[in-house]
């Protein structure tokens, strides 16, 4: 059986880049940390919420790289100055990536009670009708 991809489907023209983005997202190494929610807040807006307890604003970075929202967390390891009798809370790094569709823009990011909220907005595309003139050959 032949695998049918978006780029090879006869009615789906120009979707090769979308297929590459999906493959890259699948390989991005997103494990289960940190846990997150995605909610639709209106017909054209979304909110991603990550549980980032223990991280401060300066420990986090949010970037958009080639239509991919990338959230990175890196805590400073200050364990040399501290003596732990038990260490159950690890200072661990993470990177979480989300592929953004064309027209989706990142709005504001807010930290609240150990949760990082990132708002996204999808622009409503205009309906464009274009008439193509047929030339004599």
Answer yes or no: pTM beyond 0.85. no
Inter-CA distances, 33 with 99, 102, 108, Å: 17, 27, 22
In CATH terms, 31-122 corresponds, of 2.40.170.20, 2.60.40.790, 1.10.3720.10, 2.50.20.10, to 2.60.40.790
Residues contacting residue 40 through CB under 8 Å, at least 6 positions apart: 46
- Give the tens place of pLDDT for each residue, 37-78: 999 999 999 999 999 988 999 999 999 998 899 999 998 766
Residue 21 tokens, joined: 């983005």
Q: What is the DSSP string of 39-99?
A: EEEETTEEEEEEE-TT--GGGEEEEE-SSEEEEEE-----TTS---S---S----EEEEEE
108-129: pLDDT as tens digits: 999 999 999 999 999 887 889 9
**Average pLDDT over the chain, rounded to whole?**
85
């Amino acid at each position: 059986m032949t695998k049918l991809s978006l780029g090879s489907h006869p009615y789906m023209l120009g979707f090769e880049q979308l297929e590459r983005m999906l493959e890259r997202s699948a390989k991005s190494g997103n494990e289960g940390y940190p846990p997150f929610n995605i909610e639709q807040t209106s017909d054209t807006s979304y909110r991603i919420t990550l549980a980032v307890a223990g991280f401060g604003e300066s420990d986090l970075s949010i970037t958009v790289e080639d239509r991919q929202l990338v959230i990175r967390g890196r805590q400073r390891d200050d364990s040399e100055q501290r003596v732990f009798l038990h260490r159950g809370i690890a200072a661990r790094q993470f990177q979480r990536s989300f592929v953004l569709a064309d027209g989706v823009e990142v709005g504001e990011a807010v930290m609240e009670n150990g949760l990082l909220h990132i708002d996204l907005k999808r622009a409503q595309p205009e309906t464009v009708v274009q008439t193509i003139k047929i030339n004599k050959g």
